[in-house]
């Protein structure tokens, strides 16, 4: 008998995980809650929201689910893993206590300070007055971050005194993030190039994925407002083999040890956001789940079966002798097609065209897709992540951009330069 798997989430990351899990010979059935219409060809969509822990738990018990895999951070931070485990259900992801690495910037920074893990210097503010006091001694550039989850919108990189005022207004006058935003971390600004290192771990054994590079600004040349990510490629050469070894030794291993010694072992996918300055790397942030859009190219590159790894981490552990993950040679690139107006206001409901005639080897992962499998429509700011793999970054990029010409919806916008930092190096 194969495994019955329940995947929780509905975006591009979950689509990419579903695409990979669906290829596993160990799989008997894949259920996706709630999923999106483009995922219907990979598994059965179940109409339960990702935040409905009780509903998901009842479903998992009734269907005899062997393994639940959680995509997004909110249910993890809310404690879905603890709830499932308390009912004897196997689930991939960190506990509520371990998910604090993402759910509380204060927790993450204090942990790094205590365990000497390289990151930007910081102070904590518990009130508006305290924030102002701290900022008097820290002229811009500085970074102000709301403590709690803020859907990726809680970090303010302030280059001028006006930026500082605007951030304080949002956090303390508008109170956009509620109580979560009244506690904030004020960080030293780090210059450099960012990269994401994702590591699968059971709290003992580490299985790193190739470094990836997200593209957060909306427009070519890294201009315009920040978004949830307009594209990504992997591997990212900025993280050289030598630097990766150092990051594993100085950052990843100490972080996993620190979590063990704090009594909250991290089991799941540890996402380390890095700032690389010359030959040094420091932590920008931790996430407690797969990155989006990093997962889209990474799943295309992954040769090994992912399902037994997820199952081992959720259960008996990877074991000391776990073989490293195997990867296809070459590179993969994901380009996000977004709605007109994103990251501001945008319309929904525009039909998606051209998805049935994608070139061989190009996958359209649905990020914000609604409607039906027969008639999918736009339902989010980021709509699709078109992803391709080839034996070089340039070829993968050519392939994905050629495919992008054949896919459309009203007002679609996308960056034309995903991967530029890697190509500029050559």
- 229 sits near ligand GLY (criterion: CB under 6 A): yes
Q: Which SS3 state, helix, strand or coil, does residue 75 take?
A: helix
Nearer to ligand GLY, 122 or 286 (CB): 286
Count of Cβ atoms closer than 10 Å to residue 76 Cβ: 27
Q: Taking CB under 6 A as the rule, does residue 184 contact ligand AMP? A: no
Closest CA to 230 of 338, 331, 155: 338
Interaction mask 120-159, ligand AMP, x per CB under 6 A: x----------------------x-x---------x-x--
Contact flag: residue 190 with ligand AMP (CB under 6 A)? yes
Least distance CB 153 / ligand AMP (angstroms): 8
Looking at residue 9, the DSSP 8-state letter turns out to be E
R_g of the chain, CA atoms, integer Å: 21
Residue 77 lies near ligand AMP (rule: CB under 6 A): no
CB-wise, 12 or 371, nearer to ligand GLY? 12
Strand pairing category for 3-9 and 27-34: parallel
| Strand partners for 156 | 144
Taking contact as CB under 6 A, which single stretch among the options 185-193, 205-213, 312-320, 406-414 is the one that binds ligand AMP? 185-193
Q: Does 292 bind ligand GLY (CB under 6 A)?
A: yes
Minimum CB separation of residue 44 from ligand GLY in Å reads: 26
Q: Is 294 in the site for ligand GLY (CB under 6 A)?
A: yes
Which residue is listed with tokens 């005022």?
A: 165
Strand bridging mode 376-378 / 369-371: antiparallel
DSSP secondary structure of 145-208 = EESS--TT--EEEE-SHHHHHHHHIIIIIS-TTGGGGTSEEEEE---SEEEEEEEEESSSSEEE
Contact between 11 and ligand GLY by CB under 6 A: the answer reads no
Does 287 interact with ligand GLY (rule: CB under 6 A)? yes
We find the least distance from the C-beta atom of residue 181 to ligand GLY, in angstroms, to be 18
Contact with ligand GLY (CB under 6 A) among 12, 291, 371, 381: 291
Using the rule CB under 6 A, is 296 a contact of ligand GLY?
no
Span 146-175, contacts to ligand GLY by CB under 6 A: 152
Question: What is the C-alpha to C-alpha distance for residues 349 and 90, in angstroms, rounded to an integer?
Answer: 37
């Amino acid at each position: 008998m194969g495994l019955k798997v329940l995947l929780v989430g509905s975006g591009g990351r979950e689509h990419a995980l579903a695409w990979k899990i669906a290829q596993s010979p160990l799989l008997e059935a894949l259920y996706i809650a709630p999923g999106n219409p483009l995922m219907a060809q990979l598994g059965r969509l179940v109409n339960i929201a990702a935040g409905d822990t009780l509903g998901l738990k009842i479903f998992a018990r009734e269907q005899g689910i062997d393994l639940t895999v959680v995509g997004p951070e909110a249910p993890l931070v809310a404690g879905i893993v603890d709830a499932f485990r308390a009912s004897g259900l196997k689930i991939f992801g960190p506990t509520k206590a371990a998910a604090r690495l993402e759910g509380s910037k204060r927790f993450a920074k204090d942990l790094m300070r205590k365990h000497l893990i390289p990151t930007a210097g910081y102070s904590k503010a518990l009130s508006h007055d305290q924030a102002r006091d701290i900022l008097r001694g820290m002229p811009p550039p500085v970074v102000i971050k709301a403590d709690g989850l803020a859907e990726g919108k809680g970090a303010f990189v302030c280059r001028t005194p006006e930026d500082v005022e605007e951030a304080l207004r949002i956090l303390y006058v508008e109170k956009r993030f509620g109580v979560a935003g009244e506690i904030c971390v004020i960080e030293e600004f780090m210059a450099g190039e960012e990269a994401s290192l994702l590591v699968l771990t059971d709290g003992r054994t580490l299985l790193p994925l190739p470094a990836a590079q997200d593209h957060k600004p909306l427009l070519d040349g890294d201009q315009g407002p920040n978004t949830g990510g307009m594209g990504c490629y992997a591997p990212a050469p900025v993280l050289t083999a030598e630097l990766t070894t150092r990051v594993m030794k100085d950052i990843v291993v100490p972080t996993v040890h620190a979590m063990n010694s704090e009594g909250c072992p991290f089991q799941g996918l540890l996402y380390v956001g890095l700032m690389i300055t010359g030959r040094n790397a420091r932590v920008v942030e931790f996430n407690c789940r797969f990155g989006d859009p990093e997962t889209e190219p990474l799943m295309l590159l992954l040769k090994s079966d992912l399902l037994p790894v997820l199952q081992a981490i959720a259960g008996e552990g990877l074991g000391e002798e776990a073989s490293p993950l195997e990867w296809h040679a070459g590179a993969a690139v994901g380009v996000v097609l977004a709605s007109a107006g994103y990251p501001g206001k945008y319309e929904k409901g525009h039909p998606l065209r051209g998805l049935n005639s994608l070139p061989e080897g190009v996958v359209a992962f649905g990020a914000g897709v609604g409607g039906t499998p027969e008639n999918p429509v736009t339902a989010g700011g980021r709509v699709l992540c078109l992803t391709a793999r080839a034996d070089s970054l340039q070829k993968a990029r050519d392939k994905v951009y050629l495919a992008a010409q054949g896919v459309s919806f009203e007002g679609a916008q996308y960056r034309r330069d995903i991967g530029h930092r890697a190509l500029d190096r050559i």
